[in-house]
Amino acid sequence: VSCTVAHGDDAKATARRPAALAPYERLLPAPASARAEGAPYVFGAGTVIRTGVGAPEEVRRVGELLAEQLRGPGGLPLPVVDGDEGDGVRLRLDTGDAELGAEGYRLRTTPAGITLTARTPAGLFHAGQTLRQLVPVRGAGGVPGGTVVDVPRFAYRGAMVDVARHHFPVEQVKRYVDQLAQYKINTLHLHLTDDQGWRIAIDSWPRLAEYGGASEVGGGPGGHWTKEEYRDLVAYAAERYVDVVPEIDMPGHVNAALASYPELTCDGKAPERYTGIKVGFSSLCVGKERTYEFIDQVLGELAELTPGRYLHIGGDEAHSTPAADYAAFMDRAQRVVAEHGKTVVAWHQLANARPAPGAVLQYWGHDRTAAAEKAAVVAAGKSGHPVILSPADHAYLDMKYDTATKPGLAWAGYVPVRRSYSWNPGSYLPGLPESAVLGVEAPLWTETVANRSDWELLAFPRVLGLAELGWSPSAALDWTAYRERLAAQGPRLEAQDITYYRAPEVPWE
């Protein structure tokens, strides 16, 4: 069912409400394959979740979390039990099913029960999130009979939050993790440091958080996370199969660090703390050995706190670092990351220096980015550097939707819901083969975001589109069909009390 809304008029025209989609057509992200067939399974007071005899503890945990999510407030008892036989929801690890890969799953529903099969607990978790979407959002009703066989297109499906421009409590980030994981996003990139604030406690350099953390954009009090809080967040994310990628931005974006430790500046004088929103004015002192002790200790402590394989070292907008210094600094910073057993991620400016073997580049250009800059990223991608795509004029959640959006910036243009969704990561950068694309990420910069409702308003619903671009097969990507899938999520977002933009291009339910 399509509406005739001319391209470019989307923000003004209100899309007509199409006929309701069948449940398997509403799944978001769209699965690799789904077929409705046979009679439904109806949840009842006696429904149990079965994890299988002798199932690993982790499967039981996936079952417990799913039970909690399906129960809802005042809902069914849904106990989690061992054993395999009998009706209810069955979670099955089957390592033999090679086509399901590391995150794929099979979900089969008949009147006798629902079976979730995957090679890994992560796959079972994703299957559970699909099942949640097949349960009517309100009232009674069954899960329609049928089968979903689903695998992700890309391994890396990320969202970033900038907790440096404004400080946010860990609780708010956990809430975001829950919101994202239900759409199969599996990576949370935390932009922990910037000119305006240093948000993570580092034992060997305590003033970073104590002094450098006590500021934020606009002059508020700021704040920081203790190591315990960070560990707790990482563990919470891991239980939802979300990996944390922490970022310490360098050699630019470091005013909070320089303000905390004058020994890090070339002239030994600490700058004032900064609460504005300019970029590109600060730099670590590339010629000082103390700088490298600093990054070694900071990245060492962070590596020790972080179970995931990546450390993000920024590398963007180093406008106050001469190009040769930048390259020399990034060589050493990359070596430090390797010495601590991690893999480098950096913003794509690293492509113009010397990316170390295996380093991952995060592209954040846009339509008007110079061809030479894009070509450098493509060349790096072809020579073996995996690329994460975060094109600012599609993927940046901090761009305003339109002139009426209150929070947000617009340096990459307005990004309405349709625009944020309408690009194909596999063919986005001319000449970059899909095999070089590790995945996609939606960054939320927070110069203009100071509370939960502005955060959610900018992220929702656009982050759902990014989730689909990262997960669904290329053939499923279609705006006309997508906006109906998205419309069907409205009541679910509301049930979770998520603030979202009811974009006029979407025929919201």
Catalytic residues, which ones?
317
Whether the Cβ atoms of residue 180 and residue 498 lie closer than 8 Å to each other: no
Task: State the sign of the Cα–Cα–Cα–Cα dihedral 492, 391, 275, 161.
Answer: positive
Rounded to whole angstroms, how far apart are CA atoms 246 and 254?
Answer: 15
Whether the Cβ atoms of residue 376 and residue 352 lie closer than 8 Å to each other: yes
Q: Which segments within 131-236 are labelled E, that is strand? A: 146-150, 156-162, 187-191, 193-194, 197-198
Give least dist CB 113 to ligand TNX, A.
47
Applying the rule CB under 6 A, the residues between 276 and 315 that interact with ligand TNX are 279
Q: Are β-strands 33-36 and 146-150 bridged in parallel, bridged antiparallel, or unpaired?
A: antiparallel
The closest alpha carbon to 59, from 122, 146, 108, belongs to 122
- Apex CA 441: angle with CA 435 and CA 444, to 5°? 165
Give least dist CB 409 to ligand TNX, A.
5
Give least dist CB 190 to ligand TNX, A.
14
Give least dist CB 445 to ligand TNX, A.
4
**Sheet with 105-110, side-by-side order of all strands:** 33-36, 146-150, 105-110, 113-118, 89-93, 49-50, 80-81
Q: Which is nearer to ligand TNX, 288 or 366 (CB)?
A: 366
Identified binder of ligand TNX from the candidate list 409, 410, 473, 478, rule CB under 6 A: 409
Applying the rule CB under 6 A, the residues between 54 and 73 that interact with ligand TNX are none
Q: Which is nearer to ligand TNX, 118 or 388 (CB)?
A: 388
Question: Is residue 410 at the binding interface for ligand TNX, with CB under 6 A as the rule?
Answer: no
Question: Is residue 168 at the binding interface for ligand TNX, with CB under 6 A as the rule?
Answer: no
Rounded to whole angstroms, how far apart are CA atoms 423 and 462?
Answer: 13
Q: Which is nearer to ligand TNX, 301 or 316 (CB)?
A: 316
Site pattern 108..137 for ligand TNX (x: CB under 6 A): ------------------------------
Name the 3-class secondary structure at 248. Answer: strand
Question: Is residue 455 at the binding interface for ligand TNX, with CB under 6 A as the rule?
Answer: no
Question: Is residue 76 at the binding interface for ligand TNX, with CB under 6 A as the rule?
Answer: no
Q: Which is nearer to ligand TNX, 408 or 507 (CB)?
A: 408
Encoding tokens for residue 116? 């979730």
Rounded to whole angstroms, how far apart are CA atoms 67 and 76?
Answer: 9
Q: Which is nearer to ligand TNX, 294 or 445 (CB)?
A: 445
Give least dist CB 492 to ligand TNX, A.
28
Give least dist CB 277 to ligand TNX, A.
8
Applying the rule CB under 6 A, the residues between 358 and 397 that interact with ligand TNX are 364, 396
Q: Which residue, chain included where needed, has tokens 């006696």?
A: 46
Contacts (Cβ under 8 Å, ≥6 apart) of 368: none
Size of the site for ligand TNX (CB under 6 A): 10
Identified binder of ligand TNX from the candidate list 445, 455, 479, 500, rule CB under 6 A: 445
Question: Is residue 347 at the binding interface for ligand TNX, with CB under 6 A as the rule?
Answer: yes
Give least dist CB 30 to ligand TNX, A.
29
- Residue 40 half-sphere exposure, CB side, CA atoms within 13 Å? 14
Q: Which segments within 318-436 are labelled E, that is strand? A: 343-347, 360-363, 387-389
Given the rule CB under 6 A, which residues bind ligand TNX?
Answer: 279, 316-317, 347, 364, 396, 398, 409, 445, 447
